[in-house]
Amino acid sequence: MVKQLIIACVFVGSFLNSTAYAVIELAGALTQDETWVNADFHLVTGDIQIPDDITLTITSNALVQFSANSDFNNFAVDATLSELIVSGTVDIQGTSILPVTLTSNAFYCCDSKRNDI
């Protein structure tokens, strides 16, 4: 899998009170079990393929955003979309209090809200 790590800083109130988190760009096939944690922002820029016998775990309160009009590797049906192709297992560990959010940066033509998946 192709991963690119980008360190981003979110400034809350002032420069003295800031939180750093990692923006991880993701595309490709998983080759081993993997966990996406809530401390990172997961940006899917191409198809993610989860083969048989591989598990992707997404922890509670994690944010995963799929890039619109982007398909870094084109494994699946649509060459213009980032897709999740699952033959193995996806273990989403969200709760009603700390949900996992899967979203997209796509916009509807007449709506300024994000296109939640």
pLDDT digits (tens, 9 = 90+) for 40-89: 999 998 889 999 999 999 999 999 998 877 666 666 667 777 888 899 99
Q: What is the DSSP string of the chain?
A: -EEEEEEEEEEEEETTEEEEEEEEEEEEE-SS-EEE-TTEEEEEEEEEEE-TT-EEEE-TT-EEEEPTT--SS--SS-TTS--EEESSEEEE---SSS--EEEEEEE-TT--SEEE-
User: What pLDDT score was predicted for residue 18?
Assistant: 47
User: What pLDDT score was predicted for residue 5?
Assistant: 43
CA-CA-CA-CA dihedral for 14, 15, 21, 22, to nearest 10: 130
Distance CA 9, CA 59 (A): 21
Pick 33 or 74 by higher pLDDT. Answer: 33
pLDDT per position as a tens digit, 16-26: 444 566 889 98
**% of residues, the chain, pLDDT over 70:** 66
> pTM for the whole thing?
0.73
Please answer whether residues 34 and 56 qualify as being in contact, where contact means their C-beta atoms are separated by less than 8 angstroms.
yes
Pick 106 or 48 by higher pLDDT. Answer: 48
